[in-house]
Amino acid sequence: MLLLAGVYLYHRGNDELRAHLLNYVQQKYPHLDVRLGEAELVGNEGIRIRQLSLTKPESEQSQATQLIYAEEIKILCDPNLQDLVQGKLTIESVQIHGLISDIVREVDGRWNVETLMPSSPTMNRTTLPEVVVRGGVVQYTDRSLPTTPVLFKELDLRLQLKALLNRQQQSTGNISAQLNGTVSTDFCRQIAIKGSANSSDKSWVVSGEIREVKWSQALIDILPVEIPSDFIEDLQAEAQIKFSAAQRPDQSTPQFRVDGVVNRGQWHPPRLHQPMTNLRANFKVDNRGVAIQQLSATLGAGKIQTEFHLNGFNLEQPYALSMTTTQFPVTPRLIEALPESLQETWRKYRPIGTVSGRLQITHDGRETEHDAEFTSQDLSLLHYKHQYPVTDCRGTARLYNGLFDFHLDGLAGRTPITIKGSLRNPGPLATGWCEVRTSGWKPIDDALIRALPPKTQELAHKLQIRGDVGFWARFERTKPSLIPPKPHLKLVVNEGWVNYEDFPYPISNIRGEIVWLNGNWTFSGLQGVHGDSRISCDGFWNATVPERPLQLNFLARQVMMGPELKRALKPNTQQIWEGLRPQGSIEELRVSLRKTDASPRPAVEIRALQRPQASRPPKAGSLSMQPTWFPYHLSDVSGQARWLDGELVIQKLMAKHDETTVRTNISGSVSADGAWRMNMTNFAVDNLRLDNDLIHALPKGFSDTINRIDANGIFSLDGAAHFARQNSQSPVEAGWDLAVQLDQMSLQAGLPINHVFGEVNMRGSSFGPQFWSRGTLNVDSMFVRGIQLTELQGPIWIDSTRVALGRRVPAVDRQQPSQMLSAKVYEGKVEADLEMTLGEFAEFNTQLRLENANVSTLSRDLRLGNGNLSGQATAALNLRGSSRGQHTFNGSGNLRLRNANMYELPIVLAILSRIGSRNADNTAFNSSDVEYRIRDGYVYFNQFDLSGDAITLKGIGEMSLHRELNLDFYSLVGNEGLWSPLVRPFLGEASRQFLQIHVDGTLDAPVTRQEVLPGLNETLQQLFPELMTPTPPADNTSRRFLPRWK
């Protein structure tokens, strides 16, 4: 029973102990949720408490948080329950095992463990126990950082509490605390800490040491936000750190200080292309800011030494940075770490390589000053606009007091280049100048072209430019402005080569200058060659106006008219070339090319000059052409030509063909569909011969006509002509309005015509083989079958089917029909109409009238008699035929001779000698009347009368066209014309007996015989119809020879 009672009292005493302790702690922390597992008295040792927890209840601002949990707490004391109940328990120490604490720093900077401070001081004791923690675990969370909690393990600490007494040695209710302890984490081997606190003035002091720190992102994540992480991110290192912090009564904020030494560090921020290694530094962080001293590191082959002081914890506050470098690598990522003002400048040049030098940056909170000087041995630059790499740069650059001076010598490809300048306040508003100059010839390669602005690249690609250039450029701005600096660029071209895409005519060995000033390009003094041609060029390209006009002017001398030049021309211009078919060389060729952004194709104007041979230099070549539309070879061509927008103008054109000289002006045009036209004005040709070359050059119908009429001679032309083609498939059209001077012309127009002198005015046109030409003859002299005609005038018509003269020419106006062709012949006048077809066998039809011709001149030219013939002749002839021969001739005519002296005619002399006339002198016959017909190669005389004062002969007969005679004459006494009508019948009755004279032989050698006839017969009835009863005349034309009268 006693045992049972003892057990009961024991357990009841522990329950009362637990309840008492729970109530006691709850009173101390009424704002927390207090839980207690067990409490017991342990012999003479004291009290053992198990599973004690203090939890911050859930609220609208935060979730429930367990601040402290202790698996076991030993309170070393005199375990007297009555003393405990009465609050007189004396505690020597408190030992805590299995402590787990969750410490949280809120976003507003408050700590959750602040709630562990008692709400009201109730400690009136003069002595307080010592608190010892063994093997504790603390989890630290900073909710102002997006990081995971940090776990502190192996927490061992000793907390010595002391009651603060007044002068009467009574408790004031406040305590002081002394803390010593160690803890380990994942980022260091051990943290040793000691500190003290005083609840009366809420002051505290803490210090410690972090041994063998392994610097990593986990450590950075737990640092307070007040500590800047810009310099320690991406850092891996080992460090020894000492720290201290204190809250003094007279200070509103805690004071802290962190001192450290970093060894074996490696720093690899994103802006560095490789890590910075062998990093060593001393650093200090306190309330005033950050200080980094004796920082040294290697970056590749480079070395860095740095000092940094920041008055605060962000770069908007004053700071000072000093750095010296040796072979420091410059990368694009590094540039991003520079101040924005410097970034702008560095981005324009994009330096890559290594530099050595010093840098001093100071910032007073408002302005930043830089003082830097660097040298380089292998720097590469790439301008942001003109992206041609410059490598192996050596030189210096200095930045001080807002002035950036630099002088670098490098290589552009393999060409030495110098870059120097001075900029005030580097950045978008910088002022100053920069010069770039090559020290040798720089080859124009694809990389250099890619470095040009886009529009300039496009032009360079179109020019297909190659060669070497010397380069000088200066960029200058005198006033701060966002307006780009004024550029001034000069290119000196050497051994250049271009082949412009829109005029692909390669030019080599180019020398000269290209200047770019204020956005405008100027080309001056450019000279080159193409074969034996020497070419110069000047021009401009205005890139500052929206149209961006480009003007290039080329001057070429001694230009060969070869296939390369032809291929350079536009298709419609090539049609002109193919139409003219030039050969040889042009003395001077000017090409003006103009293009704007608004025009898809450039406007090309071509001017050519070829002076006459006497005015050209001695070694100058000659030019010839043979147009397809008039394939007449012309040599020694001279003149001036202009071609623009499909229009061709040639002035003062002069050319030769053997002894022929051609002069004219030409205007024409060519269309894209193959149509073209050529107008020739002031067209003059001297000493033109109708040879085979000219005949083949004429339009086909015209040349066929020339061949058919067998025209020949020397001509001079003056007037105008035009040639055209409607499209590439249509035949050539031609037109002309010419005055043709004739000199020794000959032709066959049914009758042989030669020795023609005079002028023909011709106007006409042709279309393929069809043509027509109308004109007016003004012939001074011509011969037809040996008969000279002078002052020949009248209309003429020639087309593809016929030749017409006189009234056979179509009238221009129905009210004014064409007039007969007229001429002077043998002191008389002849009028004629003629029409001749131009078939295989030409047919002709002519009407001819002769008035008052001088018989003396006529007989002399026809070799009739001994030159003493005289008189006047009137004649008419209608004749048809063809070129098949004289047997096709058919027609009729008449001849009247008056006041004639005909006795010397062979036929008259023969007749007179036959009849034995005593009056065989110039008065034997003084008139003659002849009527004839022509048929089947013979001339049939229906009437051949010879009349004189003493005798009249009336004849009939025929003559071949070979002058063979078959004539019969019958005599009458006296002149029949003098008989009166009353006498004639009686004379006839009385003269029944007649003398008949028969003539044969030839016209030049006639043979006669005679006989006396007793009376009239049928033949006489024909000769003397007035003596007979009128009867119809017999048709004897079908007989080849007339029957003799017996």
End-to-end CA distance of the chain: 219
Kindly state whether residue 339 falls inside one of the protein's structural domains: yes
* Residue where a domain terminates, one of 518, 544, 570: 544
**Predicted local confidence at residue 1028, as pLDDT:** 46
Kindly state whether residue 909 falls inside one of the protein's structural domains: yes
Task: Pick 1033 or 932 by higher pLDDT.
Answer: 932
* The total number of structural domains that make up the chain: 4
Distance CA(831)–CA(850), nearest Å, equals 7
How does residue 1013 score in pLDDT terms, banded at 50, 70 and 90? low
Residue type, 850: L
Task: Pick 16 or 942 by higher pLDDT.
Answer: 942
Residues 812-843 have pLDDT tens digits of: 887 788 899 999 998 899 999 999 887 777 88
Please give the average per-residue pLDDT across 779-792, as a whole number.
88
The two three-digit tokens of residue 208, written as one number: 């410690």
**Predicted local confidence at residue 876, as pLDDT:** 95
Domain match, 413 and 510 both: no
Kindly state whether residue 279 falls inside one of the protein's structural domains: no
How does residue 440 score in pLDDT terms, banded at 50, 70 and 90? confident
Kindly state whether residue 103 falls inside one of the protein's structural domains: no
Domain match, 879 and 1005 both: yes
Q: Which of 437-446, 451-460, 783-792 comes out lowest in average pLDDT? A: 451-460
Residues 323-361 have pLDDT tens digits of: 999 988 877 766 776 667 667 767 777 888 888 999 898
Domain match, 959 and 915 both: yes
What are the C-alpha distances in Å from 114 to residues 69, 173, 340? Answer: 16, 18, 44
Please give the average per-residue pLDDT across 717-729, as a whole number.
87
How many residues does the structure list for the chain? 1046
Domain match, 909 and 950 both: yes
* Nearest Cα residue to 973 out of 922, 1025, 919: 919
Distance CA(532)–CA(564), nearest Å, equals 13
Domain match, 521 and 606 both: no
Phi and psi, residue 97, nearest 5°: -120, 145
Kindly state whether residue 202 falls inside one of the protein's structural domains: no
Please give the average per-residue pLDDT across 646-652, as a whole number.
88
Highest mean pLDDT among 520-524, 725-729, 915-919: 520-524
| pLDDT > 80? residue 520 | yes
Residues 234-251 have pLDDT tens digits of: 788 888 999 999 988 888
CA angle, 141 as apex, 137 and 142 as ends, to 5°? 150
Q: What is the β-pairing status of strands 486-498 and 466-477?
A: antiparallel
Residues 552-575 have pLDDT tens digits of: 898 988 888 888 888 887 777 787
Domain match, 937 and 993 both: yes
DSSP string covering 781-843:
EEEETTEEEEEEEEEEEEESSEEEEGGGSPPSBTTBPPPPEEEEETTEEEEEEEEEE-SSS-E
Domain match, 498 and 581 both: no
User: Could you tell me what percent of the chain has a pLDDT over 70?
Assistant: 86
| pLDDT > 70? residue 121 | no
* Nearest Cα residue to 286 out of 258, 307, 260, 263: 258
**Predicted local confidence at residue 575, as pLDDT:** 77
Domain match, 584 and 733 both: yes
Domain match, 634 and 719 both: yes
Q: Give the chain's mean pLDDT.
A: 82
Phi and psi, residue 1036, nearest 5°: -110, 10
Distance CA(160)–CA(231), nearest Å, equals 39
Phi and psi, residue 462, nearest 5°: -65, -35
Q: What is the β-pairing status of strands 203-215 and 507-517?
A: unpaired
**Predicted local confidence at residue 978, as pLDDT:** 52
Q: How many CB atoms lie within 10 A of CB 84?
A: 21
Residues 946-982 have pLDDT tens digits of: 888 778 888 999 998 888 999 998 887 655 555 555 4
The two three-digit tokens of residue 768, written as one number: 């393929």
Distance CA(102)–CA(137), nearest Å, equals 9
Distance CA(734)–CA(79), nearest Å, equals 144
* Nearest Cα residue to 574 out of 676, 660, 714: 676
- Helix H or strand E segment including 705: helix 700-709
Kindly state whether residue 72 falls inside one of the protein's structural domains: no
Distance CA(285)–CA(1028), nearest Å, equals 170
Q: Which of 302-311, 507-516, 743-752 comes out lowest in average pLDDT? A: 743-752
Burial 831-846 (b: 16+ CB within 10 A, else e): bbbbbbbbeeebbbbb
Residues 705-721 have pLDDT tens digits of: 777 777 888 889 899 99
Distance CA(976)–CA(955), nearest Å, equals 14
Q: CA Rg, the chain, in Å?
A: 67
**Predicted local confidence at residue 986, as pLDDT:** 46
* Residue where a domain terminates, one of 402, 426, 450: 426
Q: Are 56 and 103 in contact (CB under 8 A)?
A: no
Domain match, 560 and 539 both: no
Domain match, 608 and 729 both: yes
Q: Is the pTM of this model over 0.85?
A: no
Domain match, 387 and 468 both: no
**Predicted local confidence at residue 7, as pLDDT:** 39
| pLDDT > 50? residue 887 | yes
Distance CA(431)–CA(554), nearest Å, equals 40
Residue 424 CA from chain centroid, whole number: 41
Task: Pick 1044 or 665 by higher pLDDT.
Answer: 665
* Residue where a domain terminates, one of 382, 397, 426: 426
Range of the domain at 502: 441-544
| pLDDT > 60? residue 3 | no
The two three-digit tokens of residue 913, written as one number: 């000698």
Residues 164-222 have pLDDT tens digits of: 777 777 777 788 888 899 999 888 888 999 998 888 888 889 999 988 888 777 677 66
Distance CA(1046)–CA(1028), nearest Å, equals 19
Distance CA(925)–CA(252), nearest Å, equals 171
Please give the average per-residue pLDDT across 776-805, as a whole number.
89
Residues 841-859 have pLDDT tens digits of: 788 899 999 999 888 887 7
Distance CA(151)–CA(793), nearest Å, equals 134
Kindly state whether residue 955 falls inside one of the protein's structural domains: yes
Distance CA(125)–CA(294), nearest Å, equals 53
Kindly state whether residue 245 falls inside one of the protein's structural domains: no
Residues 899-928 have pLDDT tens digits of: 877 776 777 878 877 776 545 555 678 888
Q: What residues does 255 pair with on adjacent strands? A: 246
* Nearest Cα residue to 322 out of 369, 276, 277: 369
Residue labelled with tokens 């039809």: 845
* Nearest Cα residue to 924 out of 938, 932, 913: 913
| pLDDT > 90? residue 801 | no
Phi and psi, residue 645, nearest 5°: 50, 45
Task: Pick 1026 or 463 by higher pLDDT.
Answer: 463
CA atoms within 13 A on the CB side of 794: 25
Q: Are 287 and 312 in contact (CB under 8 A)?
A: no
Residues 401-412 have pLDDT tens digits of: 888 899 999 998
